[in-house]
Amino acid sequence: MDKNAEKVWTNCLKIIKDIVEWQHYKTWFEPIKPVSLKNNILIIQVPSQFFFEYLEEHYVNLLAKTLKRELGKDAGLEYRIMVDSGNIKNKPLTMDVSGQGFKTYSNNEMDFPLVISNPVKNPFVIPGLKKMQIDPQLNPIYTFDAFIEGDCNRVARRAGKAVAEKPGANSFNPLVIYGGVGLGKTHLAQAIGNEVKRLHPNKVVLYVSSEKFINQFMDHSRNNAINDFIHFYQLIDVLIIDDVQFFNKAEKSQDAFFAIFNHLHQSGKQLVLTSDKSPKDLEGVQERLLSRFRWGLSADLQIPDYETRIDILEKKMKNDGLEMPKEVVKYIAYNINSNVRELEGTLISLLAQSSLNRREIDLDLAKKVLRNFIRTSSKEITIDTIQKMVCEYFAVPYDKLLQKTRKREIVQARQITMYLAKAFTKNSLKTIGEHFGGRDHTTVIHSCQTVKDLMDTDSVFRENVLELQQKVQLAAM
């Protein structure tokens, strides 16, 4: 083994270790072996084609950053992919490929300079074309088709579709999509952009994170080019800004956004925003902006229920051409109930394990992976457990929860319990109803809906539900 390569790689790992969650680190970085370092190009050996693609897709930025830090700006990365690990008779078979993503990343980095010289280059404008063309910054994999609909996201998804069909000419302007991490905000926002481009190729679409917007604004501001900045944004037909919670306290950027918002809205252009909180709970955002956010529709994304989690997993598998036994899919869907990103992460860890160990995916492997790589439950959460937790939380007597009492506190506690039972157990609506003194499934549906509605309008109620949700999650670990 090349000593220099090893040294460089060890240094990279030190940084990567601090940044990547340990289970991801274990899955994706520990198996990598440094092979050689020549002409400032590091070759690393990876166990499979799949592994290589995964690194390229998910970690190329991190790899590029750390490697450039070690080797300087012209650092390069190549992969040696294990095709066959060989045996006594046959030598291992490998294949060398260069990191495509790494190259693109390096180019991109030049397009997004932090220090901008005057006149300010706009990073979204494709240079060298006569008519100004704006790169919409969309990732084509995020489509409506790939976004599974369930109770958790129906309103947001349908509103998104309506917006994409008639951008600017619908009553959802702005459309604000909000929800916790990994629940699909970026996916849905991007799907709207992609769908607009598909249906209306001439519309100018731009997706930008609020952080990038703020950085750009500051660059322009330093160069006394704020007007250029605002004018540029006023040319857009569909402006999608992701994670507006990061506008928090960026006063000047908010002023610019306010001007842009007003201009676009008045000219019948579409705005799509995402946020990790509902607009009324956003802190550090000017009231005049918040009141405009409320002009259109705010739609939330919730944690998908068990059935939807199964649908999502099956969709991902179908898209990637993968197969695994239904019981494994059910096992994952049942145990991973935090968010969709975790769900995907688990699926991928499982694939990696199966590919590394050259072993079919079965329930045993799934159990092993879930135990090792995701801190999660082997414990079953039952309706009874949830009932007891809610009773304790609200100091409501257990028998009252099951009886027909109509007292408001009790009704709410009962509704929340049904909601949590739907989200965290795999019982049918019918079974859940039966656990509440023989109510029928429509009562359960109604309860779940009421809880969702109240969470939107009553922040104390929402806090209570979220806290309980956490307790249930902890109990499942």
For ligand ADP, the binding residues (CB under 6 A) are 146-148, 153, 179, 181-187, 312, 340-341, 344
Contact of 227 with 197, CB cutoff 8 Å? no
- What does the DSSP assignment read for 428-474? -HHHHHHTTTS--HHHHHHHHHHHHHHHHH-HHHHHHHHHHHHHHHH
Q: For ligand ADP, which is the closer residue by CB, 312 or 472?
A: 312
- For residue 122, the partner it binds in Mg ion, ligand ADP, none, with Cβ less than 5 to 8 A by kind, is none
Give the interface segment with Mg ion, choosing from 77-85, 134-142, 185-193, 311-319 (CB under 5 A).
Answer: 185-193
Q: For Mg ion, which is the closer residue by CB, 186 or 302?
A: 186
Contact call for residue 339 and Mg ion (CB under 5 A):
no
Q: Which residue is nearest to ligand ADP (CB)?
A: 184
In the complex, minimum distance from the CB of residue 428 to Mg ion, in angstroms, rounded to a whole number: 32
Q: For ligand ADP, which is the closer residue by CB, 309 or 414?
A: 309
- What does the DSSP assignment read for 253-301? HHHHHHHHHHHHHHTT-EEEEEESS-GGG--SS-HHHHHHHTTSEEEE-
Contact of 245 with 277, CB cutoff 8 Å? yes
Binds Mg ion (CB under 5 A): choice among 27, 45, 186, 353: 186
Contact call for residue 210 and Mg ion (CB under 5 A):
no
Q: For ligand ADP, which is the closer residue by CB, 183 or 239?
A: 183
- For residue 312, the partner it binds in ligand ADP, Mg ion, none, with Cβ less than 5 to 8 A by kind, is ligand ADP
In 3D space, the residue among 111, 274, 61, 277 whose CA is nearest the CA of residue 187 turns out to be 274
In 3D space, the residue among 201, 197, 265, 271 whose CA is nearest the CA of residue 240 turns out to be 271
Contact of 142 with 191, CB cutoff 8 Å? yes
Q: What is the largest CA-CA distance in the chain?
A: 78
- For residue 341, the partner it binds in ligand ADP, Mg ion, none, with Cβ less than 5 to 8 A by kind, is ligand ADP
* Helix (H/G/I), strand (E/B), else coil: 1: coil
Q: For ligand ADP, which is the closer residue by CB, 253 or 302?
A: 302
In the complex, minimum distance from the CB of residue 184 to ligand ADP, in angstroms, rounded to a whole number: 3
Q: For ligand ADP, which is the closer residue by CB, 148 or 390?
A: 148
- For residue 153, the partner it binds in Mg ion, ligand ADP, none, with Cβ less than 5 to 8 A by kind, is ligand ADP
Angle 293-299-301 from CA coordinates, rounded to 5°: 130
Residue 329 structure tokens: 């899919």
Binding residues for Mg ion, rule: CB under 5 A, are 185-186
